Structure 1
Amino acid sequence: MSRNPVRSKRPQATSPQPAAKGDPGDDAIIDQAHALYGSGAATAVAYCGLDAWFEGEEAEFRLFARLFRRLMN
């Protein structure tokens, strides 16, 4: 049984290998977040990550967590 009662019971499609840092796709998402939200880009990405977490989308959550870490550095 899951410790988090709001997590989805659906199986998650996760990649066995972490994505490389400086992934061009990540860079494009970060550039778009800066263009849309300016100084609030990190907050917007964090919100998307939380939404993915509560929906049980682990792969998507990991993407947004990685993006958030890059935005905070």
Structure 2
Amino acid sequence: MVSRNPFRSRKKQQTSPQPADHDSPADDAIIDQAHALYGSDAATAVAYCGLDAWFEGEEVEFRRFARLFRRLRN
């Protein structure tokens, strides 16, 4: 099943999760795109992507979106 979320990675998941505090330039780009697409609802959109990853069992993607959500909420 392919995700309908515009920010989701289509690549195969890594076997070992990345640390939750690892920021990358790609994270900044995702946040900028979320703001451009959803405005003040960007945090909600990113949270939705995180929930989608959680329900699909994709821990690495879930952690990434949780980190992005925390950055958007601060």
Is the contact between residue 38 and residue 45 of structure 2 (CA under 8 Å) also seen in structure 1?
yes
Q: How many residues align?
A: 62
2: CA distance, partners of 1:16 / 1:62: 8
Alignment of 1:1-73 (within 5 A): 13-15=15-17, 17-18=19-20, 20-21=22-23, 23-73=24-74
The alpha carbon displacement at 1:17 in A equals: 4.2
Q: Which amino acid aligns with 1:56?
A: G
> In structure 2, what is the equivalent of residue 3 of structure 1?
none
1:32 and 1:51, CA in 2 relative to 1: closer, same or farther beyond 3 A?
A: same
2: CA distance, partners of 1:37 / 1:18: 24
**Residue deviations 1:45-71, cap 9 Å, x none?**
000000000000000000000000000
1:62 and 1:17, CA in 2 relative to 1: closer, same or farther beyond 3 A?
A: closer
**Residue deviations 1:10-69, cap 9 Å, x none?**
xx6233545533x21100000000000000000000000000000000000000000000
1: CA distance, partners of 2:18 / 2:45: 27
Identical-residue share of aligned pairs (%): 75
Any unmatched runs of 5+ in structure 1?
1-11
